[in-house]
């Protein structure tokens, strides 16, 4: 089992550029999550989804968009990259809200 | 929303028992408290989860008092490989919308 796969692993963007961080899981989990982790800090929830077609905002959704067209995929979109979005982004999935979350290896994003 | 508090760091020696406490208020009713371990440049990894009283698995124990306003992760006989950051995760429900609140994390350093 691949688990949760995130691509790319690293990316450098210029201010104002856009990009999509990809996340896919092969565990047939209903719940999927996007977190960001700034250096030396904890994880903050950006968006989450409880199933295909359903998404909701987390603690820090501004500047991001998500979609969930399939159970497997949960891409995160940055429309106008800003230096404040430099961070490590983690995608996770779980069976439901009370089951443990399985995390990907993260995407390191730098915006210059 | 629930708010969590953990000690920023702890040092221990190999073979000792380590207890890390997470304080959390406004935890959603009937929801689980989950603990994760994170090594540098990796996503968090599930350690243990519980709802009340005590839970034990092959790597840790989790103690949750009756008021559920805190939880204590207990690592028996730590080794150098347990050096990592430990996070508690609590769901927080407001008007039926879930937010997943990670603690600030406790940086555990195990010394030889």
Q: Which residues pair with A108 in a beta bridge?
A: A10, A88
- Strand order of the β-sheet with B53-56 is B3-5, B18-25, B70-75, B61-64, B53-56
* B3-111 has CATH 2.60.40.10 classification: yes
The ranges assigned to domains in chain A are 4-111
- Cβ B71 vs Cβ B24: under 8 Å: yes
Tens of pLDDT, residues B37-67? 999 989 999 999 998 889 999 999 999 998 8
How far, CA to CA in Å, does B15 sit from each of A17, B12, B18, B76, B112?
50, 9, 9, 8, 9
Distance of CA A74 to the CA centre of its chain: 7
The CATH number assigned to the domain with range A4-111 reads: 2.60.40.10
Per-residue pLDDT of chain A (112 residues; tens, 9 = 90+): 689 999 999 999 999 999 999 999 999 999 999 999 998 888 999 999 999 999 999 889 999 999 999 999 999 999 999 999 999 999 999 998 888 999 999 999 999 9
Report the residue from B49, B99, B104 with minimal CB separation from A100: B49
Q: B42 and A56 in contact by Cβ < 8 A?
A: no
Report the residue from A90, A100, A103 with minimal CB separation from B34: A100
């Amino acid at each position: 089992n691949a688990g949760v796969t995130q691509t790319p692993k690293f990316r450098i963007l210029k201010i104002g550029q856009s990009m999509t961080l990809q996340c896919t899981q092969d565990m047939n989990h209903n719940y999927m999550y996007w977190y960001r982790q700034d250096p030396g800090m904890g994880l903050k929830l950006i968006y989450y989804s409880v199933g295909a077609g359903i998404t909701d905002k987390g603690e820090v959704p501004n500047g991001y968009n998500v979609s969930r067209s399939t159970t497997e995929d949960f891409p995160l979109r940055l429309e106008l990259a800003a230096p404040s979005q430099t961070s490590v982004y983690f995608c996770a999935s779980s069976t439901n809200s009370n089951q443990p979350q399985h995390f990907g290896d993260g995407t390191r994003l730098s915006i210059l | 929303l629930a708010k969590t508090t953990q000690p920023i760091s702890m040092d221990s020696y190999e073979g000792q028992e380590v207890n890390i406490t997470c304080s959390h208020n406004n935890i959603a009713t009937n929801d689980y408290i989950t603990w994760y371990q994170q090594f540098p440049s990796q996503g968090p990894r599930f350690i243990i989860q519980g709802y009340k009283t005590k839970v034990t698995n092959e790597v840790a124990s989790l103690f949750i008092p009756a008021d559920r306003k805190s939880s204590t992760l207990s690592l028996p006989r730590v080794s150098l490989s347990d050096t990592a950051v430990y996070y508690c995760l609590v769901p927080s429900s407001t008007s039926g919308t879930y937010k997943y609140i990670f603690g600030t994390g406790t940086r555990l350093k195990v010394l030889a």
